[in-house]
A and B are shown apart, each in its own frame.
Chain A
Amino acid sequence: MHAIFRPPVNWRHRRFRYGLVVWRCLNCGAVHQYATRICRRCRSNRVAEDRLPDRARLVTLTVVKNPPVSFEKQAPYIVGLVEFEDGTKMLTGITDCEPEELKPGMELERVVRKIAEDGESGLIVYGYKFRPVIKRR
């Protein structure tokens, strides 16, 4: 059970999980979730830190009713595919709504939520999720 959320892995991914900080290849455009000097797709060394936008559009979604270990408390939960302005697509948890309220093309905003918990005594993993944009008057 503890293999899923080893502290070093969780720590290494925190800037991506908390703020969608990515490392983008300036040669082929590939997006990496953690710091790298060499693009894993085209092997270019022209890689720069970037940040994905706070909003994205929903492409499609599914509902997870049989969650893996450490995700049980949140079931059933929504996992969606979202697309950013630059065309980058990403899987993400979607929160604060029911699946019926979601339509492809809908604008979603990024929040930071609990993703999983390693039992009662292990780490709590925080990270991005998306939700329908809060209505303003």
Chain B
Amino acid sequence: MSKLSGISILGYGAYIPMFRIKAAEISRVWGLSESELPVVEKSVNSVDEDTATIAAEAASYAVARAGIDPSKIGAVYVGSESHPYAVKPTGTIVAEVLGVNSRLLSADLEFACKAGTEAMELVTGLVASGMIEYGLAIGADTAQGKPRDALEYTAASGGVAVVIGRSGEGAIADLEYASSYVTDTPDFWRRGHERYPMHGSRFTGAPAYFHHIISAVRMVQEDGYSLEEFDYAVFHQPNSKFPFAVAKMLGIPAKKVEPGVVVNVIGNTYAASSMMGLAKVLDQAKPGEKILMASYGSGAGSDVFIFRVKEGVLAKRNRAPLVSELIERKRYIDYALYLKARGKIRE
């Protein structure tokens, strides 16, 4: 854990389903006032999409950008809180879709919204140890929000995948630092066989999101980094206020956070949320720039990473759709079609 050398992101890929529902359309049904809406709109999976298909699509873009032979991938980890099966891995479906060799490490991870970055930590360790040449870390979700609950306005669908391997020509970003801060904090949970999660309302703020991200970033500072050296700061984005609020507490200017923020237009993609911010920053960053990233997962923990952007990003960026292009590909649906797409209409 902590400082690393010789490990890089070689490919990344994001995928966002094309359907959007406006927060105002949800409030038309449940009656929240416009000033209370946490985002403008959120992405909704199509009726034929789930975490496995979203993860596979993001992963195919990551592999296309990496330009590697998928059969050389030695690990596929999918982090999500909406795996299609309770028992039967998502990772093996994704691996088979990509044509990855069966000599493979694979498992599904669950750690609320930081399950995807936990996959990044694991793959990093496997590459660093030499056990694998390349690994895929994926965060993908079709997140659940109970009708009328505050989360219904933000719980969205999307996925991001990164291919991690040894540094070299074609590296998109070197991974300089990886660590994590976790405690047992009951801010948000879903019991087995329950359809929707529960949360501690305002308790999800100070002792949960803010405490863990700030503690993770303090570790970075204790290990000798100054927050001023970062060109971008990417945080988990459960709503449009939190990433800017935590940046303010840390003394990081909003303009370093802004480039990675997508929550206002696609909602909270849970396990993909902070990774979506990273993908959007990689879509625009220049070689030499440094990125600080801190995810947050309820329950609770924050994974923290430092990346230095490399030359490879310039040639690879356009091999797959950019986050902004996926955001622009949208079609609005009303609350009735939303209920159908989300499987909330029961026979």
Q: Is A113 a contact partner of B329 (Cβ separation < 8 A)?
A: no
B47 pairs with A74, CB closer than 8 A: yes
- Given A113-B53, A124-B84, 15 more pairs with CB closer than 8 A: A19-B99, A74-B47, A74-B48, A96-B18, A96-B46, A113-B48, A114-B47, A114-B48, A114-B53, A126-B52, A126-B53, A126-B97, A134-B321, A137-B322, A137-B325
A113 touches B49 (CB 8 A): yes
The answer to whether A111 and B57 have CB atoms under 8 Å apart is: yes
Q: Are A18 and B50 in touch, CB under 8 angstroms?
A: no
Instruction: Give Cα distance in the complex from A18 to B48, angstroms.
Output: 14
8 closest Cβ pairs, A-B complex: A113-B48, A18-B97, A114-B48, A112-B97, A74-B47, A113-B53, A134-B321, A112-B56
**Quick one: closest A residue to B17, CB to CB?**
A96
User: What's the least CB distance linking B297 to chain A, in Å?
Assistant: 26
**Contact call A95/B48, Cβ cutoff below 8 A:** yes
Nearest CB in chain A: distance from B28 CB, A? 23
Residues on B with C-beta less than 8 A from A19 are 97, 99
The complex places the Cα of A126 from the Cα of B325 at a distance, in Å, of 26
15 A-B contacts (beta carbon < 8 Å)? A18-B96, A96-B18, A112-B53, A112-B97, A113-B49, A113-B53, A115-B48, A124-B84, A126-B53, A129-B48, A134-B325, A134-B326, A136-B318, A136-B325, A137-B322
Give A76 Cβ to nearest chain B Cβ, in Å: 11
Decide if B343 is an interface residue (CB 8 Å cutoff): yes
Closest B residue to A116 by CB, please name it. B48
Is A65 on the interface with B (CB-CB < 8 A)? no
Q: For the complex, give the distance between the alpha carbons of A115 and B84 in Å.
A: 14
Partner of B53, one of A74, A93, A111, A136: A111
- Total interface residues on B, using CB and 8 Å? 24
Within the assembled complex, what's the spacing in Å between the Cα atoms of A74 and B53? Answer: 15
Q: Give the interface SS of chain B, mostly helix, strand, loop or mixed.
A: loop
Known contacts A112-B53, A112-B97, A126-B53; A134/B329 CB under 8 A: yes
Complexed CA–CA distance, A134 and B324 (Å) = 12
Contacting residues, chain B, for A95 (C-beta < 8 A) = 46, 48
B153 to chain A, nearest CB (A): 24
Tell me if B53 and A135 are in contact (CB < 8 A): no
Residue numbers in A under 8 Å from B128 (CB-CB): none
Which residue of A18, A112, A126, A135 has the most chain B CB atoms within 10 A of its CB atom? A112
Question: Which residues of B are interface residues toward A (Cβ below 8 A)?
Answer: 18, 46-50, 52-53, 56-57, 84-85, 93, 96-97, 99, 318, 321-322, 325-326, 328-329, 343
Residues of B within 8 A of A114 (CB): 47-50, 53
B206 to chain A, nearest CB (A): 39
CB distance from B330 to the nearest CB of A (A): 11
Task: Check if B50 sits within 8 Å of A124, measured CB to CB.
Answer: yes
Q: Mark A99-114, 1 if CB is under 8 A from B, else 0.
A: 0000000000001111
Contact B325 A135 (CB under 8 A): yes
* Chain A residues with CB under 8 A of B328: 135
Which residue of A has the minimal Cβ distance to B47?
A74
Contacts of B343 in A (CB 8 A): 73
CB-based contact A126/B46 at 8 Å: no
A14, A73, A124, A137: the one within 8 Å of B47 (CB):
A73
Per-residue CB contact flags for chain A residues 26-65 toward chain B (1 = under 8 Å, else 0) read 0000000000000000000000000000000000000000
Task: For the complex formed, measure the closest distance between the CB of B102 and the CB atoms of chain A, giving whole angstroms.
Answer: 12
For B85, list chain A residues within 8 Å (CB): 124
Within 8 A of B (CB), among A65-109: 73-74, 77, 93, 95-96
Alpha-carbon distance A77/B47, docked complex (angstroms):
10
Give CA–CA (A134, B48) in the complex, Å. Answer: 17
Interfacial chain B residues near A136, Cβ < 8 Å: 318, 321, 325
| B329 A135 Cβ-Cβ under 8 A | yes
Chain B positions within 8 Å of A15 at CB level = 96
Contact between chains at A126 and B93 (CB < 8 Å): yes
Residue of A nearest to B343 (CB): A73
Hey, which chain A residues are within 8 Å of B50, CB to CB? Answer: 114, 124
The residues of A that contact B49 with a CB separation of less than 8 Å are 113-114
Closest CB in chain A relative to B225 CB, distance in Å: 35
**B56: which A residues are within 8 A, CB to CB?**
112
Residue of B46, B47, B49, B97 with most chain A CB atoms under a 10 A cut-off: B97
Q: How far is the CB of A64 from chain B (nearest CB, A)?
A: 13
